[in-house]
Structure 1
């Protein structure tokens, strides 16, 4: 975690001016909160720093565990992280360089997310990965068989989009994602330790804390879809590899709430013509209620911490 933190902190003062010189500035949606217009031009695509930091740290630390080839868990985790990161990079590139504010079309993005999820599933099945899921806090379990492939696609695509929705305020995603990955890092180490997954998860935590130094309000850089899509796919992959698929709903509770707010808003507006929230995702609702950006972010961090603690409690103490 310390290594990843240092890499990100040392890389940022070099990379941020580089992004500024390339004019890789954030574009702001006109339908978003008007207060966000002042963020126009802030360097984005900072997720590249997170990906580099996590990858370097994971490879360095896991290489010390064995002298043989890379553990398959490390391979698939980096595959998902970098695969979704590349997808996000293309989306950001189209937005900031080609000046097409919406980036990749929803169909293009969805196709890319599904293809990476299918590759992830194929690699798991080649290693006889269990298709059984367990219900946390109970003795209940089900073998999904071929249905596990559908679950994996749903989790990776859903998590990457949910985390992407959460990236809307300075430091919001960096903080909530660091908390969630920290919880999974603890659970990967607990019981029969999965050291590679623990290392990867804590490397993500360290890189996000390092990124937060420059991303906290007022942000000097944004991670963009390069970072948010990668983090979403990676946290789903961690949940799958640790066989804590269901627990992702609890530990990633903030991301779930953000997604539900968008779904509820769309359904309500299309069926009744009325909006349940002042604006979705949920963090914008509180902004428009008059909360300061820092108050919204710190409150969501606290909620994320509660969800993470609840997830750990269910898995460790109840069982």
Structure 2
């Protein structure tokens, strides 16, 4: 347990220092965010805020785990590979947005192809790994379901869904960071209690890195995580749950992710079929904004909801 605390503290301070170092650099390089025209008008003032912020917590987490090399097991390596692989897709997307000088990076088709490709690699790995697949735990029951060959398409879909859900949640200052910080704290405790000690050190390191990043990402944000960060976090969260043989736990702790995603799906279907909008704007956090909620209030409520969901998830064991 002591090493987990050390990993949290070390990663936190590395994240603080890294942010202090690169935010001015990114400003000089003019790596600012381009705000989409369809978004709330209040977000226009955020135009030019440095993006690529996911580099801060990804670097901090990996550096911390390199220092604690004794905890660098295969489990940890897989999660780090997931952060790098999915984060790289986000990095390409953010880079193209900067090159195009618009909020358009990879096309939806290009992004989904890259996500499917990377997800397939991890799905096949998990299926063939003796300590992971193809069995999953059913929350609130003691049942273990062996999906056999169906495990591969399930995990591919799971990765794509989770990474996109985190990506959609990253629309307000500190929202995705706060929600994921709480989820990673949950995974730190859970993995330790289940005997995945090296994984719990990693989860602690990522929690510390996110806590440090929140110093710069909370309202008003000095840096935005971008797709680099949101896809990296989605890949990490999904992989950790897979290693714990409980990918379905995300449907509980990641309730905010799911709500954000469903709001987009519902809005899209409703508009295409009936030419009517269910929400003022999707994802739903923008609808709350247009209803008069301040960004900080939305983030606070989402954090409260996630805390309760994490407690419920503990009961599922």
The alignment's TM-score, normalised by the length of structure 1, stands at 0.94
Question: Residues 133 and 151 of structure 2 are in contact (CA less than 8 Å); yes or no, is this contact kept in structure 1?
Answer: no
1:163 aligns with 2:166: yes
C-alpha displacement at 1:140, in angstroms?
A: 2.6
> 1:17 matched to which residue of 2?
24
Question: Residues 76 and 123 of structure 1 are in contact (CA less than 8 Å); yes or no, is this contact kept in structure 2?
Answer: no
CA distance in 2, matches of 1:200, 1:181: 10
The alignment's TM-score, normalised by the length of structure 2, stands at 0.95
Figure out how many residues of one structure are paired with residues of the other and give that number: 309
> 2:245 matched to which residue of 1?
243
224, 233, 257: which one pairs with 1:222? 224
CA distance in 1, matches of 2:159, 2:10: 27
1:163-218 CA distance string (max 9 Å, x none) = 00000111111100000111111111113x10121112111111111000011111
Moved over 4 A (4+): none
> 2:148 matched to which residue of 1?
145
> 2:291 matched to which residue of 1?
289
> 1:64 matched to which residue of 2?
70
CA distance in 1, matches of 2:265, 2:129: 36
1:187 aligns with 2:199: no
1:100-147 CA distance string (max 9 Å, x none) = 421011111111111111211233344323311221111333210111
CA distance in 2, matches of 1:124, 1:139: 22
1:73 aligns with 2:80: no
* Structure 2 gaps, min length 5: 1-7
CA distance in 2, matches of 1:155, 1:108: 18
1:43 aligns with 2:50: yes
C-alpha displacement at 1:59, in angstroms?
A: 2.5
CA distance in 1, matches of 2:137, 2:62: 30
> 1:5 matched to which residue of 2?
12
> 1:207 matched to which residue of 2?
209
> 1:176 matched to which residue of 2?
179
1:259-284 CA distance string (max 9 Å, x none) = 01101111111111111110010110
> 2:35 matched to which residue of 1?
28
Q: What is the RMSD computed on CA atoms of the aligned residues?
A: 1.2
1:11-34 CA distance string (max 9 Å, x none) = 111100110011000000010000
C-alpha displacement at 1:305, in angstroms?
A: 1.1
- Paired residue secondary structure (1:246): helix
